[in-house]
Structures are given as C-alpha cells and as structure tokens.
Structure 1
C-alpha cells in the first residue's frame, strides 16, 4: 500500500509542475520572442510519475516592429492562451483525483489505527 501512496504523491508533484509550466507560459504570453514550454507526465521508476518539460517549436506570428521605423519584423510569443487554460484544467483534475486517493488512504489508515488502538 505504501508504494501506491508514493505513486500518488509523485503524481501530485507532477501535476503541480505542469501547472507551474503552464502558468509561466501565460505570464509570458505578451513577451516578444517567448517560446512556450510543454510539460508531459511520464511514468518513471517503480510506477512513479515524472514531468518531462520541452520547449515548443511552433513559430509565432511576425509583426512589424513599432519601435523601429525601418519595416523590420519581430516575432511574438507562441503561447496559446486557450490551450494553456485546457492544460491547467486537466492538471487541476488530475491533481484533485490523486489528492482524493491520498485522503482516502489517510482516512482508512486512521480508522484502522482507531480500531486497533
């Protein structure tokens, strides 16, 4: 049973990491030349969950640079706010599901100890 709880705790950390990466993407959505990152939860050692983070390669829109009057272009951020919202909702749901399992384990253990003691 202990291994299962360790797996749930690793999943809680992994979903937290996914939310942090998505939050960073949203915070930098208006930064020129910002490349968003993607976080993927993958199975690690002994069934635990790890987060793999990689930059996206998608190009962002090019717009005329208003600071320079020479017609040069600058690249905007490639962050998609709608995609980030979906990622955050999915991560929140995964976090809540693993928190419920951990809470149920804690309550069950407490009940067993009350019965024995």
Structure 2
C-alpha cells in the first residue's frame, strides 16, 4: 500500500473516531452531569492523521432537582447539539473526501495495469 493511501486510510479512521465521539455526546445530551468530549484530528508522523480526544470543561446549566425537596440543584449535560451537528457534517465530508482519494488511486492503478497487461 502506498504512503498516500496509508495517509488516507488513517484519515478515514480519524474521521470515524471523531464521528463516534460526537455521536456519544449526542446520545448523552440528556444525561445529567455528562461532560461532552471533543475529538481533534492532528497530523502524526509520516503525514498520517491521528485523533486526540479530550473532555470539555464547559459548565452546564444548573436546575432545581425535581426529585429532591431540599431545593438542591443538579447540573445538566454540557453537550451543545448545534456544535455536534457541525462536527458531524465536517467528519462526514472529510471521510467522503478521503474515500474518494482512495477510489481514485484504485482506479488509476487499474487503468495502469490494463494498459501494461
């Protein structure tokens, strides 16, 4: 496998990881005290792509806990659905672009082999 294809494959994995993290955030958007994670794709050695994941520390809204009569507050999830939608669109576009690069490489190799053979 050529270095270019390896880089595209690593990018496919990185965008998949980014989508998984965002999907987990959305799935837990209504979970009390849930802290959303953020996945960042960064360049690793040899031009490959690697995902770095960190928990966001943004505070979430505090609301009165309806299950307690003492007036105590509980923290909601800090997941921002609008932000997650943007992340998912970017991840999808990045995934599709790298898949097209691999497809183009495959088609080019096929044409070269047909010409030679």
TM-score normalised by the shorter chain: which range applies?
over 0.9
Q: Counterpart in 1 of 2:41?
A: 41
Moved >6 Å (runs of 4+): none
Q: TM-score, normalised by structure 2?
A: 0.98
Gaps of 5+ in 2: none
1:49-101 residue CA offsets vs partner (Å, 9 max, x unmatched): 00000000000000000000110000000000000000000110111111110
Q: Counterpart in 1 of 2:114?
A: 114
Equivalent-residue separation in structure 1 for 2:112 and 2:25 (angstroms): 45
What RMSD in Å do the two structures reach over aligned CA positions? 0.9
Q: Report SS of the residue matched to 2:60.
A: coil
Q: TM-score, normalised by structure 1?
A: 0.98
Equivalent-residue separation in structure 1 for 2:100 and 2:21 (angstroms): 23
Superposed displacement of residue 116, structure 1: 1.2
Gaps of 5+ in 1: none
Equivalent-residue separation in structure 2 for 1:116 and 1:49 (angstroms): 34
Q: Report SS of the residue matched to 1:103.
A: helix
Equivalent-residue separation in structure 2 for 1:53 and 1:35 (angstroms): 13
Q: Counterpart in 2 of 1:62?
A: 62
Equivalent-residue separation in structure 2 for 1:108 and 1:34 (angstroms): 47
